[in-house]
Amino acid sequence: MADPALELADVRYRYPTGPEALRGVTLAVRPGERVGLVGPNGAGKSTLLLALAGFVPAEGLIRVAGHTLARGTARDVRRHLGLVFQDPDDQLFMPRVADDIAFGPVTMGLPLEEVEVRVHEALHAVDLEGYEQRAPYHLSVGEKRRAALATVLAMRPQILALDEPSANLDPRGRRRLIGLLKCLESTLLVVGHDLDLILEVCERTVVLDAGRVAADGPSGDILSDRALLESHGLELPLCLAAHM
Amino acid sequence: MHHIMLDHFAGGKTPVHRLDPAAKTAATLAFILATVLVGRDRFLPLVPVAVALALYHAVGRTPLVYTLKRLLVVSPFALAVVVLFPVLEPGRAVWTLGLGPWTVGVTQEGLVRAGHLAAKFLLCAWATVLLAATTRFQDVLQGLARLRVPRAFVVQLAFMYRYLWVLMDEAMRMRMARAARDGRLGPWRVRFQSHAGLLGVLFLRTYGRAERIYWAMAARGFDGTLHAPVQSRMRVSDWIFVACAFAVGAAAIIWDTVFHG
């Protein structure tokens, strides 16, 4: 079996001002696997994403694409981990969409021609061709989300980690995002409450509650287990609830 | 929410719009420098700059009302100084006003000085407004970067422009949420307290957002140094334009030194 794309062993973190957010998370994700990470509010899902990129100093082992996270290796880890934040206004910080997408490749030190190719590819992948010169502020929420995804795609990370990718999207925008995520070839970690999206996109689901992995298995099994979901403050995805 | 952006008319297709942003930025700096260098109380050397700006204005098809509105917006800064000069400058009094035990005298020298200052201010502001009207803000930034303005300064401006509207939206949403809960504003103390609270929350939110933006940057490899893909696109027409702008500036200064010593 190939080395895991993502490996976590006994990851713990306590916020300086609050309770323990992560209490020993152990998880391995195979290359190419699509994993949904679900759980109630405050379960530690977003904290786990921040810990993966080294933004919160968690204890335990975190290995991303073979790079162990330690003091001084955060940059290598981040190069392989494409993190898409919940609020696209945080992700899109440059005055122009093209500049924003170029930001990652430019900091990677790629030559200008290669940067241009990557910007074009990423915009094509998220169906935003022709948006190069647009100001992020003037995009719709759906467009902002896709542009935010493009900023990370341009870096061609091995693992994509998305925090609540469908929040605030209308049904059409959401449908488009699902289609887009299904086409991506990289390893995928989708955090969120949109269980229908996770059921459709991810073959595996991990339930996180109170900073621990509460359940881990095929999405079809986990997301159809009403008792399990309800005991962790979740409910059946709408598409399954209709049949049960 | 929708805001009128600074560069509302920057999408035009005139020859001025097509000029390289670095060329336009350099020209604007030349106009401003020449205007500032003209000696005190001299009006005639300012004429070349005014003529050049009028030409710039006409070719760029900038709406006159737009320019006047923008000038009006920035004028309070200069107005405070301009209105004080006629009273404070010593000289031949042309008009005196008795205010009880005090007399306020308006002097001819003061009026000339105020007029000269106002003219200089208007020319500088006009040059800046024209740059903003015919160049997209991000292009001005790129122009500044290519003119070797320190990168940290350019990036600061870029962030300001990117997040100003986001911040204004946030403040507006909070004000609406507050208004939705108190149809009639209470006594001034309560009102003041709610204003202060709103500002405090806005500050905290800005702080939180700054942290998240930093994370988003660091997640994409930001290590403290900013790189930018900058391409030079100066063409012959751009160089001619810059040369003309500097010639106008030089004409103003030469006029000033030769004819007025």
Q: A125-152, pLDDT tens digit by residue? A: 888 999 998 888 889 988 999 999 999 9
Please indicate, yes or no, whether residues B34 and B62 belong to a single structural domain of this protein: yes
> Whose CA is closest to A157, among A76, A99, A70, A46?
A76
Mean pLDDT for B214-238 is: 77
**The predicted structure's pLDDT at residue B257:** 86
Instruction: Name the range with the highest mean pLDDT among A148-157, B156-165, B221-230.
Output: A148-157
Among B80-89, B143-152, B172-181, which stretch is predicted with the lowest mean pLDDT?
B172-181
Identify the domain containing residue B243 by its residue range. 15-148+231-260
Contact B232, B146 (CB under 8 A): yes
Q: Is residue B5 a part of any domain in this protein?
A: no
Percent of chain B whose pLDDT exceeds 70: 90
Decide if A102 touches B, using CB distance below 8 A.
yes
> Whose CA is closest to B31, among B253, B234, B183?
B253
**Nearest chain A CA: its distance from B209 CA (Å):** 7
Q: Indicate whether this complex's ipTM tops 0.85.
A: no
Identify the domain containing residue A19 by its residue range. 6-241
B49 pLDDT higher than 90: yes
Q: Is residue A83 a part of any domain in this protein?
A: yes
Decide if A110 touches B, using CB distance below 8 A.
no
Spatial distance between the Cα atoms of B65 and B61, rounded to a whole number of angstroms: 12
Spatial distance between the Cα atoms of B190 and B210, rounded to a whole number of angstroms: 30
Please indicate, yes or no, whether residues B142 and B157 belong to a single structural domain of this protein: no
Q: Is residue B9 a part of any domain in this protein?
A: no
**The predicted structure's pLDDT at residue A63:** 94
Among B2-6, B122-126, B128-132, B169-173, which stretch is predicted with the lowest mean pLDDT?
B2-6
H/E stretch holding A197: helix A195-201
Alpha carbon A178 to chain centroid, angstroms: 13
pLDDT (tens digit, 9 = 90+) per residue, A20-42? 899 999 999 999 999 999 999 98
Total count of domains within chain A: 1
pLDDT (tens digit, 9 = 90+) per residue, A65-107? 999 999 888 888 888 999 998 889 888 888 889 988 998 888 8
Output the CA–CA distances (angstroms, integers) from residue A87 to A83, A168, B131, in the order listed: 12, 10, 33
Mean pLDDT for B102-116 is: 85
- Residue of chain A with shortest Cα separation from B168: A137
pLDDT (tens digit, 9 = 90+) per residue, B151-185? 888 888 888 888 888 888 888 888 777 776 665 55
Contact B9, B136 (CB under 8 A): no
**The predicted structure's pLDDT at residue A187:** 94
**The predicted structure's pLDDT at residue B232:** 62
Does A95 contact B137 at a Cβ distance shorter than 8 Å?
yes
Output the CA–CA distances (angstroms, integers) from residue A222 to A8, A219, A240, B51, in the order listed: 21, 5, 12, 75
**The predicted structure's pLDDT at residue A223:** 93
If you average pLDDT over every residue of chain B, what do you get? Answer: 84
Chain B positions touching A81 (Cβ under 8 A) are: 219
Spatial distance between the Cα atoms of B226 and B150, rounded to a whole number of angstroms: 11
- Residue of chain A with shortest Cα separation from B228: A106
Mean pLDDT for A214-241 is: 91
**The predicted structure's pLDDT at residue B101:** 77
Mean pLDDT for B226-243 is: 78
> Whose CA is closest to A165, among A186, A188, A183?
A188
When pLDDT is cut at 50, 70 and 90, the band that residue B118 belongs to is very high
**The predicted structure's pLDDT at residue B228:** 60
Residue A117 is part of a domain; what is its CATH number? 3.40.50.300
Q: Is residue A222 a part of any domain in this protein?
A: yes
Q: Is residue A12 a part of any domain in this protein?
A: yes
Mean pLDDT for A183-201 is: 92
Q: Is residue B6 a part of any domain in this protein?
A: no
Decide if B229 touches A, using CB distance below 8 A.
yes
If you average pLDDT over every residue of chain A, what do you get? Answer: 90
- Of A90, A95, A107, which is closest to B141 when you measure between CB atoms? A95
DSSP assignment, residue A30? Answer: -
Does B215 contact A155 at a Cβ distance shorter than 8 Å?
no
Please indicate, yes or no, whether residues B28 and B63 belong to a single structural domain of this protein: yes
Total count of domains within chain B: 2
Decide if B158 touches A, using CB distance below 8 A.
yes
Does A135 contact B138 at a Cβ distance shorter than 8 Å?
yes
Please indicate, yes or no, whether residues B143 and B238 belong to a single structural domain of this protein: yes
- Residue of chain A with shortest Cα separation from B162: A95
Please indicate, yes or no, whether residues B107 and B157 belong to a single structural domain of this protein: no
Please indicate, yes or no, whether residues B91 and B144 belong to a single structural domain of this protein: yes
Q: Is residue B8 a part of any domain in this protein?
A: no
Among residues 69-88 of chain A, which lie with CB inside 8 Å of chain B? 74-75, 78-79, 81-83, 85, 87
Among residues 3-62 of chain B, which lie with CB inside 8 Å of chain A? 5
Chain A positions touching B215 (Cβ under 8 A) are: 50, 53, 55, 83, 85, 90
When pLDDT is cut at 50, 70 and 90, the band that residue A62 belongs to is very high
Q: Is residue A1 a part of any domain in this protein?
A: no
Please indicate, yes or no, whether residues B38 and B135 belong to a single structural domain of this protein: yes
**The predicted structure's pLDDT at residue B248:** 92
Contact B19, B241 (CB under 8 A): yes
Please indicate, yes or no, whether residues B121 and B242 belong to a single structural domain of this protein: yes
Interface with chain A: mutation pick from B135, B156, B220, B226, highest number of A CBs within 10 Å? B220
Mean pLDDT for B80-85 is: 84
Please indicate, yes or no, whether residues B19 and B139 belong to a single structural domain of this protein: yes
Please indicate, yes or no, whether residues B137 and B165 belong to a single structural domain of this protein: no
**Nearest chain B CA: its distance from A222 CA (Å):** 31
Percent of chain A whose pLDDT exceeds 90: 59
Mean pLDDT for A200-217 is: 94
